Structure formats: C-alpha cells, structure tokens
Copies of this chain bind each other. A is one copy, B any other.
Amino acid sequence: MTDPQNHVLQTGATIGILGGGQLGRMLSIAASRLGFKTCIFEPAGDCPASHVANYHYKADYSDTDALTKFANACDVITFEFENIPTDALDIIEAITPIHPNRAALATSQDRFSEKNFLTRIGLQTAPYAAVETGEDLEQAIDQIGIPAILKTRRMGYDGKGQSRLMSPDDAVQAMTDMAGAPAVLEGFINFSVEVSVIGTRSANGAISCFDPGENVHRNGILHTTTVPAKLTRAQRTDAVLLTANILNALDYVGTMGVELFVTPTGFIVNEIAPRVHNSGHWTQAGCAIDQFEQHIRAIAGWPLGDGSRHSNVIMENLIGDDVNRLPDIAKTNTAIHLYGKADAKLGRKMGHINTVTGASA
C-alpha cells in the first residue's frame, strides 16, 4: 500500500515528466500554476513540453547518465505516456519516486494484462484471447467469433497496430499486420456510445472523478468529447464507482482515463490509460481544477479538487490540417490550445479547442 504519510511537496519543488508531448506540456503548465518547477525528459529537441518547462533533458531513454541526472534533479517523477522502457524506469525509480506506480504502468502497457486485471476485479471487457500464432488466432476466432479486431498487446494508440477481421479470410492479413508482435483478439462490442471517466486518486486514497464525457472518434482518433454525456444518473454513478474500483485496485496515485462502452447490459471497459487523457481536456474549460492539475496535486501529495463542473463543454481535437481552420476558430469565443508542433502531419494532434456551451445543470 501507499504510505499515507506520503511526503507533501512544497511549492518550489521540481516535478519530472517523462515525455515531451502535449500531455507533458499541459502537465507542466499545471505544475507551474502550483508553483512547482518542471523538468522534461524527452529525446526530441523542440518538443511541446520543453516550451513551457524549466528544464529539458534532451536524451535517449537508453542514456543512463542522463536518466540519473534527471532523476536527481526531480523531487517526484511522472509520465505522459505508458510505453516507457522498463530499464529506464528501473534507473529512475532507484533514485526518485515515480507516480503512478510501476504495477499500474505494467498492467496498462499490455492489452492482455489489462483485460485480465479488469476481469479479475469483476469488470466487463470485450471477449478477448491472446494471439501469438496463426493457430492461436484460429482458436480465438472460434471462441470469440467474427467480426473481431486483432490488436498488438503493446505500443498501440490512436488505432495504430490494429487489424479488423470481418471474415475468417482476413486472418492471414491480420497476422501479417501484427508483424510478429504478440497480439490480442477482441470481439466487437455492440455499443450505443463511448464515454470516458477521468479519475484521480491521491496517495492517501482519496478519489475524485470528473463527470463522464461522451466521445466521438474519427479514423480511430478521438474527435470530440461532450460534457455532460447522455447518461442516466444511475449510469453516471456506475461509471464513477467503476473508475474508483480500478484506481483502488491498482493502488494508483495520479489521474487515469477510463474508456467505457455503453451497452444494454452495462458498461464494458474498453481501455484504461495510466495518465491524463485526451478525453479529459474539456476539464480545462469546465472545472476550477482540471485533470492536469489533479494529476500534479495527486503526485505532489496535495489535496485533490472535488471534480465539480461549473460549465458544459464540447472539446474538439485539431488533427493534422484541422489547424487550417484556426483563423475561423479564432473568431469565435472558443478556448484554443495549440501544442507548438511545427508540422501539421496527417493524423497528428496539433491542438484542441474547448467551447463552453452553458452553465452546468
């Protein structure tokens, strides 16, 4: 268990963030609001988080010396992505605490482990089976049925590392798509809508969740999150309790994103992310204390905000050349968040916008 006497970081302390993308950028800004200094570890030079951080260790995750210096410079360390090399974590953790913990990271780094964990704590997932060989896939298809989706166990995000099977004939192509990587076959879920809950747990076990948001994807990438989601009061309660269940089971410290499919038989957990989450960006406009600050508060041993929402919000991602719409967007009363990325590549998250649509009911 986490020590309830967890050290409370004083303002002026340094928070380390592994990863220099937009999540690291917004975490860094949130940390600065609380008077913390920030230190980014990221191999890329002109990265989004480095623009707003005190320090940037520009080094590879295999650079033991740089990792050691980074860890020594920080009072606590967190991360913006789940695929951090284990060796790097070993080096860092020997020097400075990392939140969320390694177990949470290990669980969510691997789709199969994640689904096993969720099943173990009594939550529903899509039917799933591990697949390493063509024979595994055949058996899995027999067990789960078609249509289904084959996904790499590790390193997948935004629809990458996935292959759909609409008929058994697609099996060969799907195995080719995995390129030899261990995979998991997931049955299709007949869901009406996807929602996500952003929850935070502090070191002393306090939990605070934001209202569920309703997600719409395009081309496998989150397009919009709308709050409030169209859920009944009972569903909202269920979604939050389920998220608390996950946070407690992992003895988690920090903010987590939990994606849920809404089905006639209840929620099915699609995915958990051991970090701040794109579907929680709306909290910047809807809450006094947003998901980024909640995360920083949790890892710093501070009390959490209560997660209450003062406004309804629609968050929309700006993907690739969506940024060409900026001149028009800037004419509206919408909060713009750009990530400082130079090239608007296809499918690249360039920024997001938050539109307040009214006071919360």
A residues neighboring B (CB under 8 Å): 11-12, 25, 28-29, 32-38, 50-54, 285, 288-289, 297, 302-303, 305-306, 308, 310-311, 323, 326, 330-331, 333-340, 342, 351, 354-356, 359-360
The residue among A12, A297, A306 with the most chain B CB atoms within 10 A of its own CB is A12
> Is A51 a contact of B37 with CB atoms below 8 Å?
yes
Contacts of A333 in B (CB 8 A): 288-289, 305-306, 308
What are some 22 contacts across the A-B interface (CB < 8 A)?
A11-B340, A12-B340, A29-B32, A29-B52, A32-B51, A32-B52, A34-B336, A35-B338, A35-B340, A35-B351, A37-B51, A38-B51, A51-B54, A289-B333, A297-B330, A302-B330, A303-B330, A303-B331, A306-B333, A310-B311, A311-B359, A359-B360
Query: Complex: how many Å from CA A34 to CA B36?
Result: 22
Query: Complex: how many Å from CA A27 to CA B288?
Result: 20
Contacts of A12 in B (CB 8 A): 340, 342
With contacts A305-B333, A333-B305, A336-B33 known, is A356 near B51, CB below 8 A?
no
> Is B289 a contact of A335 with CB atoms below 8 Å?
yes
Query: Complex: how many Å from CA A36 to CA B310?
Result: 29
Contacts of A35 in B (CB 8 A): 338-340, 351
> Is A288 a contact of B51 with CB atoms below 8 Å?
no
Query: Complex: how many Å from CA A36 to CA B289?
Result: 24
Residue of B nearest to A350 (CB): B35
> Is B359 a contact of A33 with CB atoms below 8 Å?
no
Contacts of A302 in B (CB 8 A): 330
Closest 10 pairs between A and B when the two form their complex, measured CB to CB = A35-B338, A359-B359, A288-B335, A303-B331, A303-B330, A306-B333, A52-B52, A51-B54, A32-B52, A310-B356
Query: Complex: how many Å from CA A334 to CA B360?
Result: 17
Contacts of A335 in B (CB 8 A): 33, 288-289
Contacts of A354 in B (CB 8 A): 288
Contacts of A36 in B (CB 8 A): 340
Q: Nearest Cβ in chain B — how far from A87, in angstroms?
A: 31
> Is A11 a contact of B326 with CB atoms below 8 Å?
yes
Contacts of A29 in B (CB 8 A): 29, 32, 52
